[in-house]
């Protein structure tokens, strides 16, 4: 019998407790104690008689507890709980992407020192076995790129906008009502959630720690329905994509951003709150994993899978070659990377504006591929109006110079999206 201490009894914790009580696979797992922050709070998801405590030592210092499951959230305070458990030789299972992204090197160094397994399948894409695939199934291949839809909230919003022609704000309100988006959605829609996951996946895929704070990230919070319409008219679909790939000089190019994907791209058809990750290796070519990327049930399933692996002796004890402690990845120069771009600018509604914009692009050696100016009510030059254009291949550095010149002139960019080719 393997004994578990659970830190955190929120929605995910309650889901895990339910699985421990009902799944035949969990018959040899026993929950001994649950760490909570407030003993007085009602907890309908926890069976009567389950011991509750506010003292982390009752989990980390109990010699009968073999595995500590961390579901508290946060980083620094939680790192104290997890490190204390590891230092006492206990295995750790966590769904905390922020903890791994920010303090993964320290956490895995401690696990290696005390020879304690760490399970973290539930930290990225919930029910999709992406961590296990990268660490086990693809370990013999040399991965050259990965790109994924790793945030269900943004994919739900983009799907609704595409299929129903609903506005961003209306879709967001529905997502919040359904519990698919937080009351404050910034963490999801700005790309902050996705960039943490990108750091974890890139670390495992490319064999050295990728600091998510160095990955350029943007979200979908400036998109409008007009952008979705224009993209699809050109044969593309907008998705928030976390991507990392080996550059020509064997450095790592990584980014999280809304991207125009060709309609035939494997990620373009991923709908609603589903996640998917497309991995390409030198030997196997492309591998696509897709499934439910969020929610209590998928996350609890991944947590239970990690618990079973550890209980049955298959838990991974990190060594000095573990990606999180083997070194730090060198990131490439994003400003020099070539790409095509879609831009929606806000410019004065007066004669000569289009010529002025075209001149700025020509001045910085950027060729314009197409221009669309949606009709708006006559404003007699007193307001800013949308101007949509696409470029031929150029560098982000050159494009930023144009955007800076427009800003100096008092105009602004509303949206800048990379166009991904087939």
Contact 201, 146 (CB under 8 A): yes
- HSE-CB of 347 using CA atoms within 13 angstroms: 22
Go through 43-57 and write b for each residue having 16 or more CB atoms within 10 A of its CB, e for each that does not. Answer: beebeeeeebbeebe
Map residue 313 onto helix, strand or coil. Answer: coil
Euclidean distance between CA atoms 189 and 249, whole angstroms = 32
CB atoms within 10 A of CB 23: 14
DSSP secondary structure, 115-155, as one string: T--EE-GGGSSTTS-HHHIIIIITTTS-EEEEEEE--HHHH
Tokens representing 307 are 């618990």
Q: Which structure tokens are listed for 15?
A: 């889901």
Burial class (CB in 10 A: 0-12, 13-18, 19+), 77: exposed
Enumerate residues 6+ apart whose C-beta is below 8 A from 199: 101, 210, 211, 212, 215
**Overall size of the chain counted in residues:** 422
Residue 31 CA: distances (Å) to CA of 19, 46, 151, 164, 227? 11, 11, 31, 45, 50
Closest by CA to 99, choosing from 72, 75, 71, 65, is 75
For residue 143, the cross-strand partners are 281
Q: Which of 90, 97, 197, 239 is catalytic?
A: 197
Nearest to 6 by CA among 225, 295, 283, 21: 21
Told to judge if 197 belongs to the known catalytic residues of this protein, a careful annotator would answer: yes
Element (H, E) at 359: helix 353-363
For the annotated catalytic residues, the residue numbers are: 197
């Amino acid at each position: 019998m393997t004994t578990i201490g659970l830190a955190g009894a929120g929605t995910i914790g309650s889901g895990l407790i339910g699985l421990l009580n009902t799944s035949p696979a969990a018959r040899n797992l026993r929950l001994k104690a649950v760490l909570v922050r407030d003993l007085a709070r009602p907890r309908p998801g926890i069976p009567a008689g389950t011991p509750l405590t506010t003292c982390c030592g009752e989990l980390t210092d109990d010699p009968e507890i073999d595995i500590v499951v961390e579901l508290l959230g946060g980083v620094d305070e939680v790192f104290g709980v997890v490190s204390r458990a590891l230092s006492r030789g206990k295995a750790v299972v966590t769904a905390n992407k922020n903890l791994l992204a920010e303090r993964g090197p320290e956490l895995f160094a401690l696990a290696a020192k005390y020879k304690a397994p760490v399970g973290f399948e539930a930290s990225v894409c919930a029910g999709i076995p992406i961590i296990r695939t990268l660490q086990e199934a693809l370990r013999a291949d040399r991965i050259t790129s990965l790109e994924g839809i790793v945030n269900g909230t943004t994919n739900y919003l983009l799907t609704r906008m595409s299929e129903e022609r609903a506005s961003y704000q209306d879709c967001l309100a529905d997502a919040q009502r359904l519990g698919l988006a937080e009351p404050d959605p910034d963490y999801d829609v700005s790309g902050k959630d996705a960039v943490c996951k990108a750091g974890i996946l890139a670390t495992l895929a490319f064999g050295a720690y990728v600091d998510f704070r160095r990955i350029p990230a943007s979200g979908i919070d400036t998109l409008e329905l007009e952008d979705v319409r224009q993209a699809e008219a050109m044969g593309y679909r907008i998705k928030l994509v976390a991507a990392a790939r080996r550059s020509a000089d064997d450095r790592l190019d990584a980014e999280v951003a809304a991207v125009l994907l060709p309609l035939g791209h494997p990620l373009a058809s991923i709908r609603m709150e589903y996640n998917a990750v497309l991995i390409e290796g030198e030997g196997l070519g492309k591998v696509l994993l897709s499934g439910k990327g969020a929610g209590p049930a998928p996350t609890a399933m991944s947590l239970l899978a990690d618990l079973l692996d550890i209980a049955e002796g298959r838990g991974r004890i990190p060594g000095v070659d573990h990606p999180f402690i083997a070194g730090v990845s060198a990131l490439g120069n994003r400003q020099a990377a070539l790409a095509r771009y879609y831009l929606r600018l806000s410019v004065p509604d007066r004669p000569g504006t289009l010529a002025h914009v075209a001149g700025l692009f020509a001045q910085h050696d950027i060729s314009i591929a197409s221009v669309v100016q949606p009709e708006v009510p006559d404003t007699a030059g007193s307001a800013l109006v949308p101007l949509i254009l696409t470029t031929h291949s150029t560098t982000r550095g050159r494009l930023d110079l144009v955007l800076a010149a427009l800003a100096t002139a008092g105009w602004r960019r509303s949206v800048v999206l990379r166009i991904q080719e087939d």
